[in-house]
Amino acid sequence: MLDLEVVPERSLGNEQWEFALGMPLAQAISILQKHCRIIKNVQVLYSEQTPLSHDLILNLTQDGIKLLFGACNQRLKVIEVYDLSKVKLKYCGVHFNTQAIAPTIEQIDQSFGATHPGVYNAAEQLFHLNFRGLSFSFQLDSWNEAPKYEPNFAHGLASLQIPHGATVKRMYISAGNNLQDTKAPVMPLACFLGNVYAECVDVLRDGVGPLGLRLRLLTAGCGPGVMADAKVRAVERNIYFGDSCQDVLSALGSPHKVFYKSEDKMKIHSPSPHKQVPSKCNDYFFNYFTLGVDLLFDSSTHLVKKFWDQIQELLGHPMEKPVVLHRSSSANNTNPFGSTFCFGLQRMIFEVMQNNHIASVTLYGAPRPSSRARTEAIGH
């Protein structure tokens, strides 16, 4: 059974790991993978038809915990403990929920102290008690009417006339005071872990098509001297078609991984594919995972050939029929998302899933002559 520390408006965790509000989805998954022998039977819940309208949820079924991530930014916005019998909880190092300590209204009063009167939901028969960044829901199955608030300074929260021994059914950790309207906070400094993240990515274009990308990057920079001066710093970097791998490394730093392209499944759609001479070297990708970007380099010239980036809406109206693509690999021949459709428009390829949402966008173009010969590009 997990033994976890509750930090209101911040996190749930222990000495080995911590689920922090504002944490990226990939980082939470990394924690679960690292501790898979302890945290088992994790479900991933999402909406297939409207993925951008519903939270993405990691359900830790064995431990009675749900992690709710914002649909668009995929950062942790709510931590819900929906079965307190499966986990031990403590606050400021003192347990308030274990197999020997029941999370009753009296125990919550003793552990967390005073707060404003709660709210009763008659339809759910739940009484919600809210602290800043922390909420408790009490089950009131035996009550036929809403509990009334009668001030009694001698009895603390018990003056809310909740039945003696009423226990917590659910607990929520979130940012702010309103659980219903809560949003994921900005990423905590502790979650950067030396990585750089993209706040936004703009396409640089001319009258013909894309020229490259402008990336606004966030990093947890440190001031001189002490870590207390650490703060999030923003910088802008531009990447163009025709940039060398050295140019990219100078602008963005080292990639998370480098992948070599072993085959080209789209080769059949090129003019006279049977006449193309096989290359002695493979093109390769720089994978910048925390930026959501892959950069493809030509194997012979080592210049940028393509970009890959996720976006949320489709631009333009393709005139030709799409190409059907089914993603798979030698290690995994199944794809839970099924086949996708690739539409071409203005030197861009939009990969569209069966629910009409964009899976990826590929930009391509002729290499630029040199950095000195570039004209100013307009971001769109």
pLDDT, one tens digit per residue, over 331-374 is 555 666 778 888 887 788 888 888 888 888 888 876 545 444 44
> What is the overall mean pLDDT for the chain?
80
pLDDT (mean) for 310-338: 64
pLDDT in tens, 175-200: 988 888 889 999 999 899 888 999 89
CB-neighbour burial class of residue 74 (10 A; exposed 0-12, middle 13-18, buried 19+):
middle
The whole-number pLDDT of residue 268 equals 61
CA distance 188 to 22: 6
Query: At residue 106, what is the residue type?
Result: E
Collapsing DSSP to helix, strand or coil, 219 comes out as strand
Mean pLDDT across the stretch 209-220?
A: 90
Contacts of residue 348, defined as CB under 8 A and 6 or more positions apart, other chains included, come to: 209, 210, 316, 361, 362, 363, 364
Query: How many Å apart are CA 102 and CA 167, to the nearest integer?
Result: 7
HSE on the CB side for 115, CA within 13 Å? 22
Rounded to the nearest 10°, the torsion over CA 359, 19, 55, 316 is: -30
172: number of Cβ within 10 Å = 20
Q: How far apart, in whole angstroms, are the C-alpha atoms of residue 254 and residue 248? A: 9
Choose between 40 and 341: higher pLDDT.
40
Q: How confident is the model at residue 124 (pLDDT cuts 50, 70, 90)?
A: confident
Q: Which residues contact 203 (CB under 8 A, 6 or more apart)?
A: 210, 213, 214, 363, 379, 380
Confidence of residue 316 (pLDDT cuts 50, 70, 90): low
Backbone φ/ψ region at 48: left (φ over 0), alpha (ψ -120 to 50), beta: alpha
Dist. CA 108–CA 114, nearest whole Å:
10
pLDDT at 144 over 60: no
Residues 279-301: tens digit of each pLDDT: 667 788 899 999 988 888 766 66
Q: Determine the pLDDT at residue 121.
A: 77
Lowest mean pLDDT among 52-56, 154-158, 316-320: 154-158
**50 band by pLDDT with thresholds 50, 70 and 90:** confident
Tokens of 260: 């070599």
Q: Determine the pLDDT at residue 271.
A: 62
How large is the average pLDDT for residues 152-163?
50
Query: And the tokens for 77?
Result: 């916005």
pLDDT exceeding 90 applies to what percent of the chain? 37
**Interatomic CA distance for residues 127 and 160, integer angstroms:** 10
Which residue has better confidence, 48 or 92? 92
Asked if 105 and 111 count as a contact pair (C-beta separation under 8 A), the reply is no
What does the DSSP 8-state code read for residue 185?
Answer: -
Please check the confidence at residue 32 and state whether its pLDDT lies above 90.
yes
Distance of CA 97 to the CA centre of its chain: 29
What stretches of 201-254 show up as alpha helix (H) in DSSP? 245-252
Residue 46 scores a pLDDT above 80: yes
The 3-state DSSP class for residue 270 equals coil
Range in 32-41, 208-217, 300-309, 364-373 with the lowest mean pLDDT? 364-373
Closest by alpha carbon to 245, among 172, 175, 177, 295? 295
The residue ranking higher by pLDDT, 18 or 118, is 18
